[in-house]
Each structure stands twice: as structure tokens, then as C-alpha cells.
Chain A
Amino acid sequence: GENVEQHPSTLSVQEGDSAVIKCTYSDSASNYFPWYKQELGKGPQLIIDIRSNVGEKKDQRIAVTLNKTAKHFSLHITETQPEDSAVYFCAAVLSFGAGTTVTVRA
């Protein structure tokens, strides 16, 4: 099956700064890459996704970039706010990365 690696495992940023999380995948046939945000005690929520025919996608303060040649994709959060603090998961096919705990310091 698909192997997804996610880095870093924890990320602490000052409010207003940017946060970047990177994932790599193994199956070159994968063509859909979602990112999920999970708050404590809740299920994951889709925040942005990208398909293999697109290199970058942006939605307000959140963007995702995809490099199919290198088989990696990244989540970018700009102008971070305290409510961005959560665990973020990337996924490819039905496999999830290990998650990144993001803490935004006020």
C-alpha cells in the first residue's frame, strides 16, 4: 500500500508567522492529496486538497503545493492564528501521515 511520511511531527510558531508541513508518498500512481485538520476529541476535517494535474492550490491563508516528480506535497499556512493550533494530517489514497501538532503562540 501507499506509504506516507509527514514532517515535522511538532511545529510551534509565533502568531502571524507561517507554518509549513511536508509529506512524501511512495506510489507514483497516487493522484489525490488531501490535508485534514483535527481538533482535540473531534474527527478530521478536510481543509484543502490537490489533484495531480495541479501544482498549487490556495484558499485564503492555506495553500498546498505538489511536486509529482519528487513525490511530495506541502501545506502552507500564512498569518497563523491561535485557532490554527491543531493536529494536521496529510493523506494519499487511504493512508495518512503520522500527523503534525501545530501550536500557534500568541
Chain B
Amino acid sequence: GAVVSQHPSWVICKSGTSVKIECRSLDFQATTMFWYRQFPKQSLMLMATSNEGSKATYEQGVEKDKFLINHASLTLSTLTVTSAHPEDSSFYICSALGGFDYEQYFGPGTRLTVT
């Protein structure tokens, strides 16, 4: 149990376009989901906390207009990278808080490459 999926697993897009990444909790409900980004050989940096039915809380330095987060249901949160640039290329990982032991479960990640 407590499985989190992400879609797509990898995506390549051109500069200036937008990309949507989905994060789903498959067998549990998650009122809270988190979005992280990870650059090569670096640690995970929390971008924002997504709460179902309310606005996301962004960490300092993260542009809320560039990284749009929507948590419309208890099993789905989406991250949209708007007007993507090459420096947005990264590994984006979501996690969901829940399960029988109310722990944080991570998705497999989405590798975004902006050309």
C-alpha cells in the first residue's frame, strides 16, 4: 500500500512552453502533498506544500507564477511549469502525506529537460 505515482516519468519540451506533471496517491487519500526539485548530484529541495482545496504554500525563492500547483482532489496534485527555460531542467519529485501510518511517500520522479 501507500503508492504514489507521477506522470510523465520524463518529458522534453521547448523553451517557452508549459509542462504539467501529475502526482497521484493510488491507494490512499492525501490532503497534503509536497513538490521537490532535485538537481544532479544534489539533495531534494522543497518547492511547495500543496493542500487539497486551498492554495499551495511556496518556499522562499520559488516563483508561484512560474510553478503553478493545483490540488483539486484528495488523490491528485499537479505542478505546471510555465514558460519553461533550460534552467528549469531538473528532476521533480512529489510526495504525499498519508497511508495507514501517516508517513510521507514519494513518487518516482519526473525528469524535465527544456531545450
Residues of A within 8 A of B (CB): 34, 36, 41-46, 49, 89, 94-99
Contact = CB atoms under 8 A, between A and B. Distances in A.
Contacts of A99: 42-43
Contacts of B42: 98-99
B43 A43 contact: no
Nearest to B108: A43
Contact of B93 (A44, A94, A95, A97): A44
Contacts of A89: 43-44
Nearest to A97: B43
- Main secondary structure on chain B at its contact with chain A? strand
A41 B111 contact: yes
Contacts of A49: 103
A44 B103 contact: no
B104 interface: yes
A98 to B, nearest CB: 5
Contact of A43 (B34, B46, B107): B107
B106 A36 contact: yes
B105 interface: yes
A12 to B, nearest CB: 16
16 contacts: A36-B106, A41-B109, A41-B111, A42-B108, A42-B109, A43-B6, A43-B93, A43-B108, A44-B44, A46-B105, A46-B106, A89-B44, A94-B49, A98-B42, A99-B42, A99-B43
B45 to A, nearest CB: 8
A43 B34 CA distance: 13
Interface in B44-62: 44-46, 49
Given A41-B111, A43-B93, A43-B109, A96 B103 contact: no
B108 A98 contact: no
A45 B103 CA distance: 12
Contacts of B104: 34, 46
Interface in B37-93: 42-46, 49, 93
